[in-house]
Amino acid sequence: MKKIEFSNVSLTYDDDGTVYNALNQMNFSVEQGEFVSIIGSSGCGKSSTLSILAGLREPTEGQYLIDGKVSHGTGRNRGVVFQHYSLFPWMRADENIAFGIKQAFPETTDKEAADIAKEYLEKVGLAGFGKKYPYQLSGGMQQRTAIARTLAMQPEILLLDEPFGAIDARNRILLQDLLLEVLGKEKEKKTIVFVTHDVDEAILLSDRILFMDKKRILEEFEVPFSRPRKREEIFQSRDYINLRQSLLSCFFSGIQEKIGGEEVVL
């Protein structure tokens, strides 16, 4: 049994009459404990896919299954990290995490929640930053906190929508490494769907890469590296250069096609 299954999912946005079809008969599945990246150009429907998985939108057509059961609405079994607004600006870093814990496990006492929050802050390398408000943290630190909060809520499935999209190149490297490290330490392997624009990031992190275009999954790539992974080794391997080239050509083909045709969507 797959952990996640998308079966013929379509999504139509209806903005006061103007109807836009964002996903069209989409199918894919994710195994228990698998790390899957979705990559694709802007507007192809990645966030829409993730918002369905998160339970924020219901598919207009088709359905999606979690643990083999048709799923509706948000649920404690899923945790989400977005590019922005993942933290509540009015709570300090530790309060954000403790608040998440109290929501997921209402029976937790404030003291326990605070202790767990501290522990998770340490895990993401932010020991000592608990009393800072989000605005006092850099973008990278905010996303670390968001990851800590989501992990502290102990979901089985982790959904990440370009979590490092707004982080500069150097800190991005640190965060990728951190994510790999923290996930490696979790007792049970999480099932992960990770949306990104960055080809290197997708290769480094995931077991499988789904290339999305035309409102559905167009191609799949297995990532042939074993874990734990070392960045420098991967980036110098032949497999990496080939995989990267294939992924980039997916991108380019899309561009060529669009520039060739009349449709200019930038």
Q: Which residues bind another protein (CB under 8 A)?
A: 10, 12, 14, 19, 21, 24, 51, 54-56, 60-61, 74-76, 78-80, 82, 84-86, 88-91, 99-100, 103-104, 133-135, 153, 159
- Of 41-49, 184-192, 227-235, 244-252, the window that binds ligand ATP (rule: CB under 6 A) is 41-49
Among 87, 141, 205, 223, binds its own copies (CB under 8 A): 141
Q: Are 221 and 203 in contact (CB under 8 A)?
A: no
Q: Are 85 and 135 in contact (CB under 8 A)?
A: no
Q: Is 47 in the site for Mg ion (CB under 5 A)?
A: yes
Which residues contact residue 42 at a Cβ distance below 8 angstroms, ignoring those fewer than 6 apart?
197
Residue 54 partner contact from Mg ion, another protein, ligand ATP, none using kind-dependent CB cut-offs of 5 to 8 Å: another protein
Query: Binding marks (x or -) toward its own copies, 215..244, rule CB under 8 A?
Result: ------------------------------
Residue 45 partner contact from ligand ATP, Mg ion, its own copies, none using kind-dependent CB cut-offs of 5 to 8 Å: ligand ATP
4 vs 137, which CB is nearer to its own copies?
137
Cα separation, 188 vs 140, whole angstroms: 25
**Could you tell me how many residues of this chain bind its own copies (CB under 8 A)?**
24
Q: Is 169 in the site for its own copies (CB under 8 A)?
A: yes
- Peptide bond just before 59 cis, omega within 30 deg: no
Q: Is 45 in the site for ligand ATP (CB under 6 A)?
A: yes
> Cβ 161 to another protein, closest distance in Å?
10
Q: Is 20 in the site for ligand ATP (CB under 6 A)?
A: yes
Q: Is 251 in the site for its own copies (CB under 8 A)?
A: yes
Interacting residues with its own copies (CB under 8 A): 41-43, 125, 138, 140-141, 144, 168-171, 173-174, 197-199, 251-252, 254-255, 264-266
Interacting residues with ligand ATP (CB under 6 A): 13, 15, 20, 22, 40, 42-48, 168
